[in-house]
Structure 1
Amino acid sequence: MHTSHPRSAPRVIVLSGPTAVGKTTVVKRLRATHPELWISVSTTTRPSRPREIDGEHYHFVDDSTFDKMIEHGEFLEWAVVHKRAKYGTPRAPVERALAAGHSVLLEIDLQGARQVRQVIPDALFVFLAPPSWDEMVRRLVGRGTESAEERERRLTTAREELASEAEFDVTLINTEVDEVCEQLVTLMRTPHLTSPEA
């Protein structure tokens, strides 16, 4: 009797975590040091900033285009951020990369990570945590230009975001950016075993 072995397959890795934990910095470093890795580029309605390249940093679209994309089911996840701009992860490029045998990294907020879990339950969910609560406060409060009320609002949000760590498969502590990058590369290169087809 022939027994088939599990097959190795590319996987979706979702990197998320609290605001100001350094997700964007980690992904920027990853792009620079490992250009061979497939990292999703989000679509947004916010205007581009100086030195941002369309298609490299983000896909920049207007509101009506974004709304049409939602209507046609073109996003794996999308959200309105800070009550202003919309951000979303386009579905088709992710599906093409997986079909071509590449593991895919999505860097998204917690709301987006929860949406992806509904669509791709076997993705690997990675929580990027701050080295400590004090460091988190330092990054959030930063220059001290916010009012006491705004500062408290940010810290309340941060506490809620940190509490969602239990929803994730793996936690990486962002003590050193290069170290986090190497850990992510290892996760992306570790074969994801799927059950053999009957």
Structure 2
Amino acid sequence: MLSKRAAFTKSAASFGGLSRGGRPATRASAGRLFVISASSGTGKTTLANELLKEDSRLVRSVSCTTRPPRAGETEGEHYYFISKNEFLEKKKKREFLEWANVFGRYYGTPKQKVESLLRQGKDVLLVIDVQGAKQVKKTRPDAVFIFLAPPSKEELKRRLEKRGTESREEINRRYRVATKELQELNDLKLCDYRIVNRDIGTCYQALKAILEAERGRDGR
């Protein structure tokens, strides 16, 4: 059950009046691209799944990855699981909107599929890391960028340990990368919105409010 309580701040837009923060306008007939970006352990996958369950206008962009499937993951629903050679060939052909090498595993968003969905007027959700978000920002500045931050570095490490899916070495490595990414985001002002995820319920409500406000701006 979703409970309530979290901090919600905006970096490049003001919530309520919703100034554009420099983003180009989007035609009402086209879909919107929403990018949720966060480091490991911030709850981005859980929150994205909740949004997709409740919001019929929102569709997930399915990424390609070279990592093996985890328990419960389905080909074509959670990821397209491909070989490293196949991934690198797609990268060479510029078939990805963004791609990243995350701890030795490759991840990439198929560009053609995203563009097709947007042309159909569908709102598309990307759930990607900070590396990928920086690439999308360059090619799709009209996208809405939402960054999820942990309430503290200590809480981030606790959440990583609680997952129980990585070794101690892997946890420490993810923690180092996450703290570096937090600093980068503060310096680059990459995101339009920044949500401090103290509580999953209130964070979810903030995400829903952002989507509705952005759609309202386009008259949809």
- TM norm structure 2: 0.73
Q: Which amino acid aligns with 1:108?
A: I
Deviation at 1:49, TM superposition (A): 2.5
Out of 152, 156, 159, the position equivalent to 2:176 is 156
With 21-30 and 103-112 compared, the bigger mean Cα shift is at: 21-30
Sort the Cα spacing of 1:154 and 1:37 in 2 relative to 1 into closer, same or farther, 3 A.
closer
What is the alpha-carbon distance in structure 2 between the residues aligned to residue 154 and residue 68 of structure 1? 27
Mark the runs of 5 or more structure 2 residues left unpaired by the alignment: 1-25
What is the alpha-carbon distance in structure 2 between the residues aligned to residue 174 and residue 20 of structure 1? 10
Q: Which amino acid aligns with 1:172?
A: I
Describe how 1:28-177 pairs up with structure 2 within 5 A: 28-83=49-104, 85-142=105-162, 146=168, 153-166=173-186, 167=189, 168-177=191-200
Deviation at 1:153, TM superposition (A): 4.8
Mark the runs of 5 or more structure 1 residues left unpaired by the alignment: 1-5
Deviation at 1:181, TM superposition (A): 3.0
What is the alpha-carbon distance in structure 1 between the residues aligned to residue 133 and residue 80 of structure 2? 19
Count of aligned pairs between the two proteins:
186
- TM norm structure 1: 0.80
What is the alpha-carbon distance in structure 2 between the residues aligned to residue 145 and residue 110 of structure 1? 22
Post-superposition CA distance 1:140-160 (Å, at most 9, x none): 34479626xx76654433321
Q: Structure 1 residue 186 and structure 2 residue 209: aligned?
A: yes
Larger Rg belongs to: 1
Out of 18, 27, 33, the position equivalent to 2:39 is 18
Out of 36, 45, 48, the position equivalent to 1:27 is 48
- Retained in 2: the 8 A contact 1:165–1:171? no
Post-superposition CA distance 1:48-77 (Å, at most 9, x none): 223211110111122222122112211001
- Retained in 2: the 8 A contact 1:11–1:188? no
What is the alpha-carbon distance in structure 2 between the residues aligned to residue 157 and residue 50 of structure 1? 25
Counterpart secondary structure, 2:41? coil
What is the alpha-carbon distance in structure 2 between the residues aligned to residue 121 and residue 157 of structure 1? 25
